[in-house]
Amino acid sequence: MELHIITTGGTIDKTYFDAKSDYQVGAPVIGEMLDALGVHFPYTVESAMRKDSLDMDDSDREKIRACVNRCDEAHVLITHGTDGMVTTGKALQNIDNKIIVLTGALQPAAFRNSDAVFNIGCAIGALQRASPGVYIAVNGRVFDIDNVQKNVAKNRFEALISRTA
Amino acid sequence: MELHIITTGGTIDKTYFDAKSDYQVGAPVIGEMLDALGVHFPYTVESAMRKDSLDMDDSDREKIRACVNRCDEAHVLITHGTDGMVTTGKALQNIDNKIIVLTGALQPAAFRNSDAVFNIGCAIGALQRASPGVYIAVNGRVFDIDNVQKNVAKNRFEALISRTA
Amino acid sequence: MELHIITTGGTIDKTYFDAKSDYQVGAPVIGEMLDALGVHFPYTVESAMRKDSLDMDDSDREKIRACVNRCDEAHVLITHGTDGMVTTGKALQNIDNKIIVLTGALQPAAFRNSDAVFNIGCAIGALQRASPGVYIAVNGRVFDIDNVQKNVAKNRFEALISRTA
Amino acid sequence: MELHIITTGGTIDKTYFDAKSDYQVGAPVIGEMLDALGVHFPYTVESAMRKDSLDMDDSDREKIRACVNRCDEAHVLITHGTDGMVTTGKALQNIDNKIIVLTGALQPAAFRNSDAVFNIGCAIGALQRASPGVYIAVNGRVFDIDNVQKNVAKNRFEALISRTA
């Protein structure tokens, strides 16, 4: 698999800036994470933006879609804030011959107990077996983009209709 | 997905026993790990054995195959030592209607920089998209069982023949 | 040593609340941290407030001083935001027969690479050997309260006048 | 404080070598640990040996004593296996004008839940306030060398006679 990774911000990349006594989206973590894990497939990383997904609009989603279209790879991983992940995923449908998986984290990768590494692993596993299309991988589940929503109250993603897998 | 997990030992579950000044396979880590991550699918965990895979023999592999056959779930995750993982995987072929993924780790889950969580994530992602068969998920790659070997010198898994994904 | 711990908030206790997409002072971390470390001395924990030290005023410092005066123990550890740590420390001078050490962290304890555990260890070591008085333990240094300031630009604490230790 | 650090091995520096399916004393961790923490005092690190303290003999302890005598600094931190720590500490008594603290860990520094960082912090805090002499800092306690033993059954250090601090 040759993988193209597009980072867009979100909780996964949030870090603490003591000088500002504040907490903001920082540099993308995924390149360093995959290097440290010694993954054995070629990948490229492109930072499209550094946004909290609550602050995204249609021009942001068009930009992400353009990045997906432009890259040579068939396999695309997108790290993204969880709030706007389904909306962005839907804006990426109907791109031929691409397997696109969006993932993120509910706790920043900088946190000791973050779900970031697990979710990225899950996304990378799904990418290597899924058919062309758009998917979301969070909470250990891999969802088709047309059958998923974020349950904000319970802070997790769920299928709209329950299916076999 | 309803997942059945079979633990067999291996580096992933190795921990340090200060009283013995020694380092041995301990209790399986995966149940606690998935609970802490808050994964949102039902799963059961069965401990078949606690062995270093260098110490496994045919009767061990028969026991693992019996566990796979006996469980109700279609999706099976097996945590296993990396040295004997391909051998065990081959002993699990030709079980109808099961999607079986073996994974493990090169550094124990107890280690700060372990690949355990990432590999388990990868396996769980692959399980939800793969067709029935046997697979190995390590180093961020998902391999068909008939196209993988462990490169001991480089301490990683590789395909025998390079394919598209 | 019998230790009384007073928590006041600060970066050390900051955590991420995904539901609010925000980052706030949470429950004090120190009790759980010391339990996990299995420290072998008796201690009590009292939460005086949960404040960013930039938001503290004289009534807060009087409250902390009252907590120190009121407790039975001779040894007192105070976890505190780094910005206002020197100011609070000065408000705690001239309490007879108490060894008081303030500490905190530049990165929250929740972070994988936090200095929290190291700083708390340093404070606890200093408490067991220092004479009655007020001290600050951060960055691996133990300062007398009358010879320390926070160098905001370099994000660390420094002595006003260099001494032997 | 100018600190001289002498590393001797022990559990604190144990790491897992997957190629050997074994667990051995590796390179000393303390230099990298203190750099990552950004401690703000000058220090030097000297590796005297890489031994499990169960394997130490009198010539090893003479070598450590020679390292302490030879260095210019008044403050000396020694990382050491916990089993032989008291014995080595006693061999370091009666060196004038040196403040010597021995520490180590019950779980390797490589482990996610290690006591290594906390114990090193504790030792560094004690070093800056103690009078010349020899001390052991483990389990959050700072002991005079003539009033400590390792309780092997309970896997911790205890005073021989209880004192005020």
Q: What percent of chain C has pLDDT over 90?
A: 76
Contacts of C14 in chain A (CB under 8 A): 16, 23
Please state, in angstroms and rounded to a whole number, the distance separating the CA atoms of residues C101 and B102: 51
Q: Are B136 and B148 in contact (CB under 8 A)?
A: yes
What pLDDT does residue A120 have? Answer: 97
Separation in Å, CA of D154 to nearest CA in chain B: 9
- pLDDT confidence of C124, banded at 50, 70, 90? very high
Residue of D nearest to C162 (CA): D1
pTM listed for this prediction: 0.89
Q: What is the mean pLDDT of residues D33-38?
A: 90
Question: Rounded to the nearest 10 degrees, what angle do helices B116-127 and B30-37 cross at?
Answer: 80
What pLDDT does residue A44 have? Answer: 95
Annotated active-site residue in B11, B79, B88, B103: B11
Separation in Å, CA of C38 to nearest CA in chain D: 7
Res C61 pLDDT > 90: yes
Q: Closest by alpha carbon to D164, among B6, C97, A132?
A: C97
Query: What residues does each domain of chain B span?
Result: 10-71+85-158
What is the residue-wise DSSP string for B17-70?
EGGGTEEEE-S--HHHHHHHHT--S-EEEEEEEEE-GGG--HHHHHHHHHHHHH
Q: By the CB < 8 Å criterion, does D82 face chain B? A: yes
Res D132 pLDDT > 70: yes
Q: Subunits with at least 3 CB pairs below 8 A relative to chain A?
A: B, C
Res A99 pLDDT > 80: yes
Res D145 pLDDT > 80: yes
What are the tens digits of pLDDT across the range A42-61? Answer: 999 999 999 999 999 999 99
Cβ of A82 within 8 Å of Cβ of C18? The answer is yes
Q: Which residues of A are annotated as a binding site for substrate?
A: 53, 82-83
Res A164 pLDDT > 80: no
Res B164 pLDDT > 90: no
Q: By the CB < 8 Å criterion, does D113 face chain B? A: yes
Give the nearest partner residue to B37 out of A1, A34, A118, using CB atoms.
A118
- pLDDT confidence of A21, banded at 50, 70, 90? low
- pLDDT confidence of C164, banded at 50, 70, 90? low
D10-71+85-158: CATH topology: Rossmann fold (3.40.50)
What pLDDT does residue C21 have? Answer: 60
Res C24 pLDDT > 90: no
Q: By the CB < 8 Å criterion, does C165 face chain A? A: no
Residue B11 known to be catalytic? yes
What pLDDT does residue B154 have? Answer: 87
| Least confident piece of the model among D59-63, D68-72, D112-116 | D112-116
- Report how many Cβ contacts below 8 Å link chain B to chain D: 51
Q: What percent of chain B has pLDDT over 70?
A: 94
What are the tens digits of pLDDT across the range D64-113? Answer: 999 999 999 999 999 999 999 999 999 999 999 999 999 999 999 999 88
A19/A65: higher pLDDT = A65
Cβ of B110 within 8 Å of Cβ of D111? The answer is yes
Give the nearest partner residue to D122 out of C121, C141, C156, using CB atoms.
C121
What pLDDT does residue A27 have? Answer: 85
Active site residues of A: 11
Res B21 pLDDT > 90: no
Cβ of D16 within 8 Å of Cβ of B108? The answer is yes
Q: What percent of chain C has pLDDT over 70?
A: 94
In Å, how far are A119, B109, B110, D114 from B115, measured between CA atoms?
13, 7, 10, 18
Please state, in angstroms and rounded to a whole number, the distance separating the CA atoms of residues C158 and C154: 10
- Report how many Cβ contacts below 8 Å link chain A to chain C: 51
- pLDDT confidence of D18, banded at 50, 70, 90? low
B161/D132: higher pLDDT = D132
Cβ of D112 within 8 Å of Cβ of B108? The answer is no
Please state, in angstroms and rounded to a whole number, the distance separating the CA atoms of residues C131 and C135: 10
What are the tens digits of pLDDT across the range C131-159? Answer: 999 999 999 999 999 999 999 888 889 99
Residue of D nearest to C155 (CA): D38
Res A22 pLDDT > 80: no
Please state, in angstroms and rounded to a whole number, the distance separating the CA atoms of residues A145 and A143: 6
Q: What is the mean pLDDT of residues B21-39?
A: 85
Q: What is the mean pLDDT of residues B9-19?
A: 82
Q: What spatial distance separates the first Cα and last Cα of chain B, rounded to whole Å?
A: 23
Give the nearest partner residue to B40 out of A1, A117, A141, using CB atoms.
A141
Active site residues of D: 11
What are the tens digits of pLDDT across the range C94-104? Answer: 999 999 999 99
What pLDDT does residue D162 have? Answer: 65
Mean pLDDT of chain A: 92
What pLDDT does residue C20 have? Answer: 63
Q: What are the residues whose beta carbons fall under 8 Å from the beta carbon of C24, sequence distance 6 or more? A: C14, C15, C17
What pLDDT does residue C25 have? Answer: 84
- pLDDT confidence of C15, banded at 50, 70, 90? confident
Give the nearest partner residue to B128 out of A120, A126, A131, using CB atoms.
A126
Q: Which residue has the tokens 């807060």?
A: C60
Res D19 pLDDT > 80: no
Q: By the CB < 8 Å criterion, does B18 face chain D? A: yes
What are the tens digits of pLDDT across the range A77-92? Answer: 999 999 999 999 999 9
Pairing of strands D133-138, D141-144: antiparallel
| Least confident piece of the model among A24-38, B151-165, C65-79, D5-19 | B151-165
D130/B23: higher pLDDT = D130
